[in-house]
């Protein structure tokens, strides 16, 4: 029988409401400066019907979502983009999670009736147009293509999405952009040139043994290792885009990424990394395995310190804290807590809103 995580979720949602900054945003750490990305993810987590997206919502959670949406609306730029924080007048990759959030809000009628405003569709449309016109990395000439292929063994005709306009594409912003765009209308968006090319980009940038790093599987002929954060976001993107036509190289790439995260999960001493891994793995693995990942995420390592051998010496790893049973957080971080709450949710409203 699956573990009931409802009390864990309720504590986490209360933490998000209690850790909101006075300006309506959230930081990466409680009390830290408000940034667009953690604000979008905190709201995405709170959109769960068990959080603030259903009936009989606790007033503090309701007010937190209303204030958070106001914060994001006021940070929108005239060109449709968002910066990384209130003082940032430039355009950035943080536009991608906001579009993701707006698409979820616009597609769930009950949610929109609580928190939506007439301007939200226009903001989404302008942001989508900005992502497609400014968010993708530029095309390259033949000379640059050949140089990049020689140095990094990657195909520059596959264009990812960048951290900022005019920059190179990278795995995490590409993944966030793909999810943000596809959740609006999966059947249509999966068939667009931009999304098909982004999938080719993610396959091309996968590390040879599985998983992803920033976007360089090789450097001067040498293999580079994957990282759990890039692998998590890439797998979330693949979860939104996989179709029957992906059997073959794409599915093989995904399977190797999942296997890498599984191998990394039990050795990680980072609560944030465990939250990321549990989230991605929950989208691909069977129920029994997912339950174990979630228990690990919630409990941390409570049976004593983990010992491993490094260069012949036994080293004690920091024990994972898991969820704070009093305040409901993971490492007192709204961002990590939001990721953990997504990992614990059986409802995939955030990928398949309806």
DSSP symbol at 244: G
Query: Band of the pLDDT at 316, cuts 50, 70, 90?
Result: low
Residue 303: pLDDT band by 50, 70, 90 thresholds?
Answer: very low
For 133-184, what is each residue's pLDDT tens digit? Answer: 999 999 999 999 898 888 888 999 999 999 999 999 999 999 999 999 999 9
Task: Give the Cα separation of 178 and 238 in Å (integer).
Answer: 9
* Cβ neighbours, 10 Å, residue 308: 11
CA 207/CA 213 separation, integer angstroms: 7
Looking at residue 317, what is its pLDDT?
55
Enumerate residues 6+ apart whose C-beta is below 8 A from 109: none
Domains belonging to the chain, first-starting first, are 6-253 (1.50.10.20)
User: What is each CA distance from 4 to 8, 10, 298, in whole angstroms?
Assistant: 9, 12, 12
Instruction: Please determine, for residue 320, whether its predicted confidence score (pLDDT) is greater than 90.
Output: no
Please report which confidence band the pLDDT of residue 49 belongs to, taking 50, 70 and 90 as the band edges.
Answer: very high
- Among 103-107, 148-152, 202-206, 228-232, the minimum mean pLDDT is found in 148-152
Residues 6+ apart with CB under 8 A from 245: none
pLDDT of residue 312: 65
pLDDT of 243 higher than 50:
yes
| Its pTM surpasses 0.85 | yes
Contact 73, 123 (CB under 8 A): yes
Those residues with Cβ within 8 angstroms of residue 163's Cβ, 6 or more apart along the chain or in another chain: 92, 93, 170, 173
């Amino acid at each position: 029988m699956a573990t009931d995580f409802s009390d864990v979720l309720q504590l986490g949602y209360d933490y998000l409401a209690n850790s909101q900054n006075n300006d309506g945003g959230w930081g990466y750490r409680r009390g830290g400066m408000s940034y667009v990305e953690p604000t979008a993810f905190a709201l995405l987590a709170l959109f769960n019907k068990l959080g603030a997206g259903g009936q009989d919502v606790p007033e503090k959670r309701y007010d937190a979502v209303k204030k958070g949406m106001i914060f994001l609306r006021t940070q929108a730029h005239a060109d449709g983009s968002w910066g990384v924080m209130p003082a940032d007048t430039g355009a950035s990759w943080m536009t991608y999670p906001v579009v993701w959030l707006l698409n979820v809000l616009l597609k769930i009628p009950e949610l929109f009736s609580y928190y939506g405003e007439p301007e939200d569709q226009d903001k989404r449309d302008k942001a989508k147009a900005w992502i497609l016109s400014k968010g993708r990395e530029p095309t390259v000439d033949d000379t640059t293509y050949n140089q990049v292929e020689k140095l990094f063994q990657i195909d520059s005709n596959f264009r990812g999405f960048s951290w900022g306009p005019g920059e190179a594409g990278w795995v995490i912003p590409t993944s966030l952009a793909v999810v943000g765009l596809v959740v609006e209308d999966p059947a249509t968006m999966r068939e667009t040139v931009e999304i098909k090319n982004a999938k080719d980009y993610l396959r091309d940038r996968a590390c040879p043994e599985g998983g992803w790093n920033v976007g360089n599987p090789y450097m001067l002929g040498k293999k580079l290792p994957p990282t759990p954060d890039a692998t998590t976001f890439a797998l979330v993107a693949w979860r939104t885009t996989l179709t029957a036509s992906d059997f073959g190289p794409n599915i093989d790439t995904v399977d190797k990424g999942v296997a890498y995260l599984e191998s990394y999960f039990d050795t990680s001493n980072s609560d944030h990394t465990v939250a990321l891994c549990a989230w991605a793995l929950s989208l691909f693995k069977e129920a029994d395995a997912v339950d174990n990942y979630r228990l690990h995420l919630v409990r941390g390592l409570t049976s004593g310190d983990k010992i491993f051998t490094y260069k012949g010496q036994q080293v004690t790893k920091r024990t994972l804290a898991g969820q704070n049973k009093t305040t409901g957080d993971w490492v007192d971080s709204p961002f990590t807590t939001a990721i953990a709450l997504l990992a614990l949710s059986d409802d995939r409203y955030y990928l398949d809103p309806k």
